[in-house]
Structure 1
Amino acid sequence: MRGITKVGASVSAAVMMVSGFVTSTSASAASGDRPGRQLEAAVGPETSPPPAGFDNRRAASADPKVKQAQEILSGFGIPTGAVDGYWGPETARGVCAFRRIAGIGTSRDPLDTKTLNTLVSYDRKYRYLRDIPAADYLGKHTYLVAQQTCQTIFYVEDNHYRRVFPTSTGVSGHRTPNGHYSLGSTLKGWYCSTLYPEGCRNHTEGFFASVSPYGNMYNPRQVVGDIFVHGSMSVPAYPASHGCVRLVVNDADWMYWHIPNYTPLFITGTPA
């Protein structure tokens, strides 16, 4: 069965049940050697180049309209990168996320007059992201949407947008599967993917790093099979995982504190 696996069968292990799976911490971990918390997870290499055809360039010069859009997006907490007036992949991610929120398409296309005018209108109408209403999704009032075109995750709570997270989903050949899922419970700390162990190392990042410091995926929450939502040290604005849904480490902590187990998760869209 895909999911959490036991490590070091020849050594005694402290075994605990988490979300219907078994995790183990080997005796060597207790003595300070390489920890034994591992998962069969489609993490992929920690760093990957942009996929073929992905526009990862930044504009050669700043544009005051782009800066205005970045300021509004940042004010709402929508990830957009630096507020500097330069169009690039981070700003494209934020603009794409806003277009979806505003119902004016889901596109990473350059900033246009319609999008900027809609941004200005929302800025005048709503003070915070949480003030912006969101429709039900397949009858759900509280849910997550991982939008692969934008490379963002939306958290809607009681029909209002609560957070927008930057994410990085699966590359071509290892796509994150679209569908309707439930987000599993959090496995605290860092875990090492048995499929991609070369990226595993010791970490101090994350509230639960002291619980389990060694790995390449932080606070993983299972989606289905070897697909997890997890914190990562690399969350580019393009698909980079081998199926998992990556988050910034601080966002993975925020999810632990604020997003209940088994919250509906909808994965949609086509990566650019």
Structure 2
Amino acid sequence: MSRGRRRAAAGMVVCAALAAGVVGCSLQADELAAQSPTHSSAGSTSATGSGSSSTSSSGSASTAGSDRSGTGAEDTAEGEGTETAAGQDGASAEGAGTADEPLQPGDSGPEVRDLQRQLSDLGYWLGTADGTYGHSTAQAVLALQKSAGLDRDGVAGEATLEALAEGTLPPLQGGPADRVEIDLDRQVLQVVADGERVLVLNTSTGSNEYFTSDGYTRAAVTPPGTFAVDRVYDGVHTGPLGSLYRPRYFNQGIAVHGAPSIPGYPASHGCARVSNAAMDMLWAQDHLPMGGTVVVH
């Protein structure tokens, strides 16, 4: 929809591309399957959710093929500071939107494409800059808003565009040259390769609410610390707390996994949710390999 046509449809829901957050890491398998492609690997062992699982007790790299189940699990920490990347290509947000008429889900056209390119230049992943303000673009805007400490609505308004123009990025905690960082305070996930930040994603971690599973009541928290990926599952993995899309486990039952709903606040049982499209990208680029480092802070 063009911006002009959107004016005529002033009653449309602004955040149609942002599904309401469902408290908990668990998701229904049919909901995931309806929104995600089916994945399989040659020679893999079939399991619940039709996927392949790979495990390693030592945390070292291994090939997929062994079958193992996992569950969702649980703490929180905080971070400080904000970085900027002024001077990078595409850092100017001029022409991407105005205070009177912000860009938002459902928009399309050259201004949206310009916004997408600027977000991508900074590392906020959204897939292809196709000129359509869809779910992935809204997720990238949410990640920027979280990094800048702004209201989290997925709409590129004046303050968001100013943060984009300033090249705002979340700080890095530090660690091995190749790692994934999960910032519990800002609710963003960052991919670092060869010591350089390459991607920033919107994420949703433990809600800090209490829940009961298998007769035990516990808090939905994501513990801080440094961990290694020790299990992966290429498919929809169903456990006691529900279904996880292509999970990569790094702390017992806690994983980075895909989900159709990644709100602007902590909403899981302890896992780190990202969009299904982002999870596909992480698999394709192998950013969470077996034995890979995950820093939660």
> What band does the TM-score fall into relative to the shorter chain?
0.5 to 0.7
1:12-27 to 2 correspondences below 5 Å = 18-20=55-57, 24=67
1:1-272 to 2 correspondences below 5 Å = 18-20=55-57, 24=67, 38-42=69-73, 63=99, 71=115, 72-73=118-119, 75-78=121-124, 91-97=141-147, 99=148, 107-108=149-150, 119-120=164-165, 122=167, 137-138=174-175, 140-173=176-209, 174-194=220-240, 196-197=241-242, 216-258=243-285, 259=287, 260-268=289-297
User: Quick one: structure 1 residues 14 and 157, their matched pair in 2 at CA, closer, same or farther if it must change by over 3 Å?
Assistant: closer
Aligned residue type for 2:228? S
User: Gaps (5+ residues) in structure 2?
Assistant: 1-44, 48-52, 59-64, 75-97, 104-110, 127-131, 210-219
User: Quick one: structure 1 residues 238 and 90, their matched pair in 2 at CA, closer, same or farther if it must change by over 3 Å?
Assistant: farther
**Matching residue of 2:85:** none
Aligned residue type for 2:293? P
**Paired residues of 2:143 and 2:201 also in contact (CA < 8 A):** no
Residue 270 of structure 2 aligns to a residue whose secondary structure is: coil
Structure 1 stretches of 4+ with a deviation exceeding 3 A read 13-17, 20-24, 64-70, 74-77, 88-93, 108-119
Residue 217 of structure 1 aligns to a residue whose secondary structure is: strand
Aligned residue type for 1:193? G
* TM-score normalized by the length of structure 2: 0.49
**Paired residues of 1:222 and 1:228 also in contact (CA < 8 A):** yes
Could you list the per-position Cα deviations for residues 235-255 of structure 1 after superposition, in whole angstroms to 9, with x for gaps in the alignment?
Answer: 222211110111212222222
RCO comparison, higher one (Cα < 8 Å, 6+):
2
State percent identity of aligned pairs. Answer: 22
Residue 232 of structure 2 aligns to a residue whose secondary structure is: coil
**Paired residues of 2:144 and 2:160 also in contact (CA < 8 A):** no
Give the C-alpha shift of residue 118 in structure 1: 6.5
Give the C-alpha shift of residue 256 in structure 1: 1.9
Aligned residue type for 1:183? V
User: Quick one: structure 1 residues 237 and 255, their matched pair in 2 at CA, closer, same or farther if it must change by over 3 Å?
Assistant: same
Aligned mates of 2:265, 2:295 — CA distance in 1 = 19
Aligned mates of 2:234, 2:244 — CA distance in 1 = 10
Aligned residue type for 1:261? M
Could you list the per-position Cα deviations for residues 87-109 of structure 1 after superposition, in whole angstroms to 9, with x for gaps in the alignment?
Answer: x9974531333x4xxxxxxx346
Aligned residue type for 1:254? M
Aligned mates of 1:23, 1:217 — CA distance in 2 = 18
* TM-score normalized by the length of structure 1: 0.53
**Paired residues of 1:220 and 1:230 also in contact (CA < 8 A):** yes
Residue 191 of structure 1 aligns to a residue whose secondary structure is: strand
